[in-house]
Structure 1
Amino acid sequence: MFGPYARQRLFLNIPVLFLILFFVVPLIALVVLSFWQTENYKIIREWSLLNYATLATETAYVTFFFRSLLMALGVSVFLVLVSWPIAYFIVRYGGRYKLILSLLLVIPFLSGEVLRLIALQGILGPAGLVNGAFIRMGMAPLRFIMYSNAASFIAFVYLYLPLVVTTIYLSLLNFDFRLTSAASACGAGRMRVFMEIVWPLNLSGTIIGFLLSFIPTLSASLVPRFLGGPDGTLYGMSMAQQFGESGTWALGAAMGVVLFVFSVIALVVLSLGVNLRRTGFTGMGRQ
């Protein structure tokens, strides 16, 4: 019925059409809405830069953004530092249990994010497991953990650690460790082998893992709502409030556009640091 070329075009057009309908069109609508205004839960179709001026001048929104940016950077860097030893251990010493160990990382995703955050409340709360253990040992409870930026940081690490470990694990899985053996045989120390061979050749996986934690942390709304407390409001939580309690949808749309643009900039900047040939990519399939 269809020739090979027609079938190929069909398979290509389906995902393109999907992206246009469910990504490009909503994004265009969001951008248009960001230039309008909302008053008393009604949209006023008058083009203006007032929403962006508000985001750039209002101290609260600037504070929320930079607080989220610092949180996202801190969480992502910490996750990369923690995930590398875990992924390296699984690949090098997991043996026949490598698959089982990697599948264990997926277990937290068998429950919803809200349920996992509620579980963290039960662990970190004033009467939670951690403080309960301190009280039993005759120590004062750690009240600063719950409803603070520290609690949000712990939650982000808990939520996104499996993602970052998995991306680095998949990168290392295709890495030829005979290169490290050859370098060691030539007299290179462990640190030099890691910094000059293992790290550069797996940099793409590391950057992907960094972005998989950085972008959702930057736009997160549930974590600060459940664990952040009054001084832990992040940019994503404030944006969600514009579409909910506040009803200022146009301002929320402008906040969404700012997050999207900043995420694209972060993606472009980080991708510039990846040397595809050094990471093993040649652009040519195996013959």
Structure 2
Amino acid sequence: MRDNRLARLAFLGLPSLYLVVFFVVPLIAMTVLAFWRTENYHIIREAGLGNFHTLLVEPAYQTFLLRSVVMAVAVSAICTGIAWPVAYAIMLYGGRYKLLFTLALAVPFLTGEVLRVIALQGLLGPMGLINAVLVHMGAVPLRFLMYSNIASAIGLVYLYLPIAITVIYLSLLNFDARLADAARIFGAGPVRTFFEITWPLNLFGTLISVILCFIPCLSTTLVPRFLGGPDGTLYGMALAQQFAESGTWALGAAMGVVLFVVSISVTLLLFRLDLRRSGFSGLGRA
């Protein structure tokens, strides 16, 4: 009995303690700071809603948040749309090389995120590889490929696509392919089999993929700084500026609270839709 208690403490107590110390406590501290204010780089401990009022009345912050939400939705949809056929192909045709293909998805993570974004600058820039080839062929260079929201979207897809593929592939590992075979035996075509069998039974894994793309895209700072240009500022980048150049930490904490609320709301909405639509949790039940 004592060994069982020690085992439960090790496997449940330590992770719970880690989450409390490094997630719950900082979140509470940020929430408290959001109701204070800062003046001349000093924190004034006077509770109020001034920071949230600023976020509501200043059009710039609303624009940054809306732009970030649209960007996160678009990138999540693109990543999921590309990840599904890639992960499905690995599952069906990977054979004994499935593990090799899966490990290949981790190759981009062997270099830092900064290096990968800088590499994209060399690819998409005005004198980058793509435009250099176009000029060599006599075409007009594509100026919109760099320092634009399109460039930021390309960069975010490049960064988070391996995560989306990996999550959907792991979801498919728990999928019984005999169900799809049975559907085809009874006359269902490939498209109908996918949308009525494969997709619903892996819907939970797809939602996990969307969330793991949506949340980091919503708070990204590096990609818009390097690729977005002057009109590509996203909410996470504006938030980071409050803790750096501006020194308005309380306002930055309020922006963080808003970001957290939006992330949690979208996550709960997606899972609520999943439960209503399918009546089961797919990967979650596996």
TM range (shorter): over 0.9
Q: Could you tell me how far apart the structure 1 residues matched to 2:117 and 2:100 are? A: 25
CA shift in 2, pair 1:280/1:49, >3 Å: closer
Describe the shift of the 1:127–1:51 C-alpha distance in structure 2 as closer, same or farther (beyond 3 A).
same
SS at match of 2:176: coil
Partners of 1:45 and 1:280 lie apart in 2 by 46
Say which SS state the counterpart of residue 43 (structure 1) adopts: strand
| Map of 1:215 onto structure 2 | 215
Conservation of the 8 A alpha-carbon contact between 1:163 and 1:209: yes
Compute the displacement of 1:8 (Å): 2.1
- Partner of 2:282, secondary structure, is coil
Question: Root-mean-square deviation (CA), in Å?
Answer: 1.5
Match of 1:19 in 2: 19
Query: Which residue in the other structure is 1:277 paired with?
Result: 280
1:163-178 aligned within 5 A: 163-178=163-178
Instruction: Give the number of the structure whose residues are more often helix, by fraction.
Output: 2
1:233-268 Cα distance to aligned partner (Å, 9 max, x none): 000000000000111000000000111111111111
Change (3 A) 1:262 1:96: same
Shift in Å, 1:280:
6.3
Label 1:32 to 1:165 Cα distance change in 2 as closer, same or farther (>3 A). Answer: same
CA contact (8 A) 1:124 1:130 kept: yes
CA distance in 2, matches of 1:232, 1:212: 22
Cross-structure match for 2:62:
62
Query: Aligned to 1:274, what secondary structure does the other structure show?
Result: helix
What is the CA–CA distance in structure 1 between the aligned matches of 2:222 and 2:13, rounded to whole Å?
35
Structure 2: stretches of 5+ with no match in the other structure: none
Aligned to 1:157: 157
How far the C-alpha of 1:278 sits from its partner, in A, is 6.0
Contact 1:200 1:278 in 2 (8 A): no
> In the TM superposition, what is the alpha-carbon distance from 1:281 to its structure 2 partner?
5.3
Superposed, 1:37-186 pairs within 5 Å as 37-186=37-186
- Counterpart secondary structure, 2:138: coil
SS across alignment from 1:211: helix
**TM-score calculated relative to the size of structure 1:** 0.95
Judged with a 3 Å threshold, the aligned counterparts in structure 2 of structure 1 residues 90 and 66 are, in CA distance, closer, same or farther, namely same
Give 1:264's aligned amino acid: I
Shift of residue 5 of structure 1? Answer: 2.2
Q: Distance in 1 between matches of 2:283 and 2:160?
A: 27
Segment drifting more, 9-18 vs 112-121: 9-18
The CA distance in 2 between the partners of 1:92 and 1:3, in whole Å, is 43
Amino acid at match of 2:169: Y
Give the TM-score normalised by the residue count of structure 2.
Answer: 0.95
Question: More deviation in 169-178 or 69-78?
Answer: 169-178
Compute the displacement of 1:270 (Å).
0.8
The whole-number CA distance in structure 2 between the counterparts of 1:137 and 1:46 is 64
Secondary structure (helix, strand or coil) at the match of 1:38 reads strand
Is the CA contact (8 Å cut-off) linking 2:204 and 2:284 kept in structure 1? no
Per-residue CA deviations over 1:70-120 (Å, capped at 9, x if unaligned) read 000011011111111100101001111111111111100001111100000
Structure 2 contact 171–283 (Cα < 8 Å) conserved: no
